[in-house]
Chains A and B, each alone.
Chain A
């Protein structure tokens, strides 16, 4: 779909400035109702549209793959000159002096950013209800009394409603969850395949940038542009792997069993439509991926958020006469939301003296073992398949009142892959109404090619 649209824009069948103007208007309209945007950068978008139009007129766009395509960007990905908040009050006026590498790469191909999308504060949430102080909760595009899913809720909502792609981010499942709840395609690449330079850190060993779009082909189109080694991020890589097809899919028992009955039924129906050989596989350690993930993620988050204290950037106040402890505490306590504080504190706790062994080091051990166990499964199977979320989108009130440990447990369908850095995609099972569900496919590390082949085929069969 994107490919055709790009062709029409290049041939000027569709006028890029008109297209962008249209999307800006739509964005403003849906934002009134659904709160999916933190910033709509209309001036910037118009300026970019003009630039792209000139390039088209000069004939300089022959090889560019995203010419004129309007994009939304999750608000924890830095965009130069456009306010970037990570969904938090502590950055509510922060205008980055540089863009993330992923953003630069899509803009180089002609993409036009029109808005920054809503998210859980710093990525801390699976339902996009843990928004920062003063921010609004985005509403599900299919039923505005329900949640979008998180933490990239705004991105999924915008992708669905505006029918334009988005750059989102996942740490524990933040691309799959909202993709599943809103009914769009969300691709989470292997950890390291997309540069994290310019991504506001949540957990450095778990964060990944990935695209959301309306089709598998579109999501991989965007992925191909943003992927690959970046010298600014040492953990990034261009490595690609392949393995022969075993023509067999694995259902991870421990995750599948946690799903609601109707979710399971809907999933199995889809699986049958796909027609591949499948088997239920048990990995007992999978259950503990939740603990392992949250311990590691919180520990790293507590260090990553230590830079937000009112010095040099972000929320600031008059310092004079204050002792630094007072000042830091005041700014942080007033500007960070409750979930953010919780994760910082528990994150500090699990790496503190006396507890580090039983929590942090144990969590690392679990992760290591889980990677080994999963590797064994991939010897005989091409991919894991399962529902992207164990439930349908809950009502906003329900999600807000969910106790944290119960909320964390609901990540079971996405956390194991995120913890181990495996590439996965959520493909929407066609459905009207709010009972959206993503069909999740997980492949082995760096096997995005295989993932693409499988998901293109499955998407077709699920139409």
Chain B
């Protein structure tokens, strides 16, 4: 089935103050509440961040900064118009690459623009049955809108796009990652070259996939009945999409250039934005690959997942760089995700290095779980183990080493009379018990066991 999905994603920029006033985010003043007589003042940092986002998305960046007024009436829009960029967005004609099902995908970014966030409407808790509340603390927050061409071909792909986009924007620190910071998408979806339907205000990647899944099913169903989906705007409540506005009711936003903001040249700002930008993922990855002679793809993951600093610190204490890199990217990362921690919120890199230096990979994979979850140093974990071991009987130790396939095989061999196998098993017992038992004790035990 021919599916076309285009996404308009809104990202909150990580500035201290709002887009057009000097309020801290979360506070209000007459300007972001749209009181009579106020005038907007553009936040310089927001513009720089937007330029950086445009660069990340490989866009052509405009020479002049201009804003427009988008007029419509809604309770969450205090001034009755939103200051946005319609005619001359800050950037256009870029692209974004990401991996989907092992393949590289490239999506065209048609435009990137800066705009202000409307207020938030609260339906539950404090609002009564008969009325809603409007929360202005979000009103005026700086948003960057990223619009793709309708080139995504499935809900899963759209989800991967969003996750990849989030990761990259997070890496470059051009996105506000607080809990209440916006990452909302509007999706345009059509099937079999039919009318496109817009679904508004979907938060996050999971919701997006669900919403698109549902909508495509809905449109297919209509098609199967011989009907066509109407061109309209719908909402998503977590389970189903529903009509918000039909095409005839669509607003004419009557865009005019924002007269309270003078257009300014972006040359200087572009220079500064590029200069202070974090080094690109590719460059960082290449540097790490060269310095440590590890696999480039793994290096890229290390950089993307913000583990570069951690890796380099650990590498000071353990020079099995290849092993270290793989371990971080597979096991360490898994533990972080599981414990919902960031790399700087758990054990120090030195501990991972010690772990890898002093234990086998198999053991390291086991021990790292507890180390990360409980923030235990390698010494602590080792001591605990030793304590446990000290209390173990020879039978218990034997049980433990039986988990190893090689040991099982060696026992079979021993039963057949292979003496070399015995040595191997004894070796394993010694290691596992921290040399608690003597070789003779172990031999005696084994002789009994084999019977």
Contacts and interface: CB of A to CB of B under 8 A. Distances in A.
Interface of A: 78, 84, 86, 91, 94, 96-98, 100, 196-201, 203-205, 231-235, 299-300, 302-303, 305-309, 311-314, 319-321, 324-325, 328, 348, 351-353, 356, 360
B41 A309 contact: no
A103 B131 CA distance: 38
Contact of A300 (B36, B259, B262): B259
Interface in B354-376: none
B37 A96 contact: yes
B428 to A, nearest CB: 75
B35 interface: yes
Contacts of B78: 307, 311-312
A231 B41 CA distance: 8
A360 B35 contact: no
Nearest to A233: B39
B254 A306 contact: no
Contact of B134 (A100, A197, A311, A320): A311
B34 A351 contact: no
Contact of B260 (A86, A234, A352): A234
Given A303-B71, A309-B80, A324-B75, A351 B254 contact: yes
Given A96-B35, A303-B254, A353-B252, 6 more contacts: A199-B37, A201-B36, A234-B40, A300-B256, A306-B79, A324-B74
Interface string B23-47: 0000000100111111111100000
B79 A309 contact: no
16 contacts: A91-B36, A204-B260, A233-B39, A234-B39, A235-B259, A299-B254, A306-B71, A307-B79, A308-B80, A311-B134, A312-B78, A313-B35, A320-B131, A321-B131, A353-B252, A360-B256
B69 interface: yes
B172 interface: no
Contacts of B40: 234
A303 B130 contact: no
B256 A351 contact: yes
B310 interface: no
Nearest to A198: B37
- 10 smallest A-B Cβ distances: which pairs? A306-B80, A204-B259, A320-B130, A205-B259, A351-B254, A198-B37, A200-B36, A78-B37, A307-B79, A307-B34
Interface residues of B, number: 33
B261 interface: yes
A446 to B, nearest CB: 15
Contacts of A348: 71, 254
A348 B255 CA distance: 10
Interface in B151-191: none
Nearest to A196: B39
B434 interface: no
B81 interface: yes
Contacts of B435: none
Interface string B44-68: 0000000000000000000000000
A234 B40 CA distance: 8
Interface in B95-149: 128, 130-131, 134, 136
Residue with the highest number of chain B CB atoms closer than 10 Å, among A97, A197, A311: A311
A321 B71 CA distance: 25
B18 to A, nearest CB: 15
A305 B71 CA distance: 11
Contact of B69 (A203, A303, A352): A303
B298 to A, nearest CB: 49
B352 to A, nearest CB: 51
A118 to B, nearest CB: 18
B71 A197 contact: no
Interface in B250-272: 252, 254-256, 259-262
A311 B262 CA distance: 29
B42 A312 contact: no
Contacts of A352: 252, 254
B73 interface: yes
Contact of A320 (B73, B80, B128, B136): B128
A86 B37 CA distance: 10
A232 B39 contact: yes
Contacts of A308: 36, 80
B130 A321 contact: yes
A313 B36 contact: yes
B420 to A, nearest CB: 85
A308 B78 CA distance: 9
Contacts of A231: 41
A321 B132 CA distance: 10
A94 B30 CA distance: 13
A367 to B, nearest CB: 12
A84 B37 CA distance: 11
Nearest to A197: B39
A86 B35 CA distance: 13
Contacts of A86: 36
Nearest to B79: A307
A418 B170 CA distance: 49
A20 B52 CA distance: 58
A115 B73 CA distance: 34
Contacts of A351: 254-256
Interface string B236-252: 00000000000000001
Given A234-B261, A235-B260, A320-B128, A307 B80 contact: yes
Contacts of A201: 36-37
Interface in B76-94: 78-81
B363 to A, nearest CB: 63
A352 B254 CA distance: 5
Contacts of B30: 97-98
Nearest to A205: B259
A300 to B, nearest CB: 6
Contacts of A319: 131
Contacts of A204: 259-260
Contacts of B80: 303, 305-309
B73 A309 contact: yes
A419 to B, nearest CB: 13
Contacts of B79: 306-307
A305 B73 CA distance: 11
A233 B35 CA distance: 15
Contacts of B71: 302-303, 306, 348
Residue with the highest number of chain B CB atoms closer than 10 Å, among A97, A200, A234: A234
Contact of B81 (A196, A198, A303, A314): A303
B446 to A, nearest CB: 83
Contacts of A305: 80
Contacts of A311: 75, 78, 134
A199 B38 CA distance: 8
B175 to A, nearest CB: 27
Given A320-B128, A351-B254, A307 B75 contact: no
Contacts of B42: 234
A199 B71 CA distance: 21
B31 to A, nearest CB: 9
